[in-house]
Structure formats: C-alpha cells, structure tokens
Chains A and B, each alone.
Chain A
Amino acid sequence: MSYKLEIKNLSFAYENKNVLRNISLCVEYGEKIAVMGANGAGKSTLFLNLNGVLTPDEGEIYIDGIKILKTNRKILNKKVGFVFQEADSQIIASNVRSEISFGPINMGLDRREVIKRVDEAIGYMSLTGFEDRAPQYLSGGEKKRVSIADILAMRPEVLLFDEPMTALDPVGAKDTEEILDKLCAEGKTLIVSTHDSDFAYRFAKRIIVMSEGEIIADGTPYEIFSQPDVINKAHIKKPALMRMWEGLIALGIADNNGKYPVIEAEALEILALKYKGKESSK
C-alpha cells in the first residue's frame, strides 16, 4: 500500500535526551490531523523530523514510497511544508515579496516560475498591497499570513502547522482556521499541532496524542476524548461541546446513540429535531 507519508520506528534524541521514541505513523493523502499533547511531548521535534530539518537517529521516513536518506532529505523540504509557531522566527527577508520568494528560489525554480508562485501565494493569503512592506511594520496576524504564504509558494503536498493560533487575536485565529479549512477543501494534507481541544474536535478527522515522545493514542476525536486515561496523561482537556453533550445525555435530554455533534449548530439541530420535530432555523 502506498501511503503519502509513512514513518517507521522513528527515534530522535537531542544530546542524550530522548525526545522521540519509536514513533510509527501513516498519513494518507487529504487527511486532517491534529497532534495534541503537553509542552515538551515532542510535537515540534516530530515536525522538524518530518520536514527534513532534523535527521532521525533511528527509523525510516517514506514519502510516496520513496525512502528518505541523508542524500535526498531535500525532498522532504519540498513535499512537506512547515509553518513555524512564531512567524518572526520564520521570516527572514526584509520585505514580504522577497520573503515569500525564498523557498521557491531554494527549490531551484527559474525566475518566471518563482514570480508566478509568489504572486499566487500573495493572492491566496490576501496580502495584496503588502508586497513592499517590511516585516517589522506588519501586525501579528499579517505576519502569520506571510509565514503561511512562504510555505504555500513552495507547493508542498503535506502542510505542518505548529500551534497556528497562538499569539493571534480571535479574528486572526478565525481567519487562520478558515485558511486551514480552505486548504483542506483543496485536498492538501494537514497536520496541525494544537492545545485547543475545541478546535481539534471540530477541525480534525483524526487526532494523534503524544506524551513523553511517544504516540499514546491515535483515532477519531470522539475515540480520543472518551478515553479519560489518555486525557489525563497528555494534559489535554475534553472539548466543551462534548462535556455539554454528555451532560445532556445524563439528564436524559439527548440520546446516547454514539453520535456526538461536532459543532454547536449541529447540536441545536439534533435537539430541535427531537423536541419540535422540525429543523431548527439556525
């Protein structure tokens, strides 16, 4: 079977400190995955390995069936894009346009193709009008958009987002979530690390939970959040909607048929259907 991205028994240590232990993972094309776990669980280190910045001490990474060796690590840079947590640590150039061009130029594309991709990424992230702006005069949300455009211009097939909502105001966070949804709808594979279980619950189709460098659970959001031991071990919180629904089930208001609503509107609809016998207006 040919998986998009496959990791077999990957281990990684920073100067004798084991950060990742024996990680195996298969990611198929078009998946929407959230990676959760406490700080220091190894999420960012896993991403750096997947993106080819770090080389695993043990284990193998395959992409499209190609085994990644030291000599062809650049394939990972190209096919797996990594949007860093802090936009400021990613932005290197002194204006938006040259910043976005950095990745495509490193890929060895010719100038016309670079310009085409940069223009496309600027349009996609609605950065038109900011092309000549220096990064020090951009707001946090704008910087985030630039850092995503950076990666989009490289046209990777898998996108890694390291805690994309941190340090963003609610509007910025909402915009970022919309961008993630849009990318998914276009068939990109997304792996997003997050602490926000409400976001993970409504966004992801699959959640991977990490603790102390190991994957301790891998499944649908409902499966993950109904395991109290996993929740405790990984220091994550049960999503508000799920707690609410469990409360409603306990009170006998909602039916326990194993189908939990994913967003508020869905919950309202189920209840309206049950008690009023019609679809709610919302």
Chain B
Amino acid sequence: MDINLTIIGQSIAFAVFCWFCHRYVWPLFANVLEERKRTIAEGLEAAAQAGRKLESAARQSAEQLDEAKASAAGIIEQANRRSAQIIDEARQQAQMEAERIMLAAQAEIEQEANRAKEELRAQVSLIAVAGAEKILGRAVDQAANEDMLRQLAAEL
C-alpha cells in the first residue's frame, strides 16, 4: 500500500468540505424543514382553533334561536291578548254607541210627540171654538171664553 501525501490532501479536503457543509449547506435545509414543520404546526393549530370557534358559534346560534323563539312566542301571546282586548273594547264601544243612538232616537221621538202635542194644544182652542160655532150657529167670543179654552188645552 503506497501511503503518501494524498492522505493529507484528502484530510484537508475532508475538513474543508465538512466546514463548507456545516456553514453553507446544512443550515439551508435545516431551516426549510424547520419552517415547514412550523407551518404545519400552525396550520393544525389554526384548524383546531377554527373547530373550537365553529363549535362555539353553533352553540351561540342555537342559544339565539331559542331566545328568538321564546321572544316570538311572547310577542304572539301579547298580540293575541291585545287583539282580544281590542275586540272587547270595540264591542263595548259599539254597544254604548247603540244605546246612545237608541236614547237619542227615543228623545227625539218624545220631543216630536211633545211638539205635536204643543201644536195640537195650540190649535185645540181654535178647533173647539170652530166646533162650538158650528154647534151654536154663531160666533163665539174667543176672548170671553179664554179661561175655559185654556183649561181645555191644559187638559189635553
């Protein structure tokens, strides 16, 4: 075996190559792999977080839905009550109105009757006088019988 300077040359080359690899090659790949590892870890973490968020959002939406249902039921009930109340009120009002119209009509009828009576009363003396004149065949002095006529009218 011829051992010669080549062994020293190879040792130097080995040292230089190791140094070069250590300084200029290894870190490039170490960094890339490290970065990729980090990216994947971040991605997984983000996915887990998104899952948790989704869960909480689903819970929240269910809660809100329940709340909305409850409030809608409340509103419907209130509306029902209110509508019943309005119908009641309307009915009462209509009854009152009807009574009022009836009373007014009765009052008018009474008034009309009174007026007719008054008119009749006013004309009764004339009729009585005319009747008497017919019966007696002569004029009756209205003024002289004023008392009797007024009494007659008052008895009507």
Tell me whether A and B are bound partners: no
* B→A interface (CB under 8 Å): none
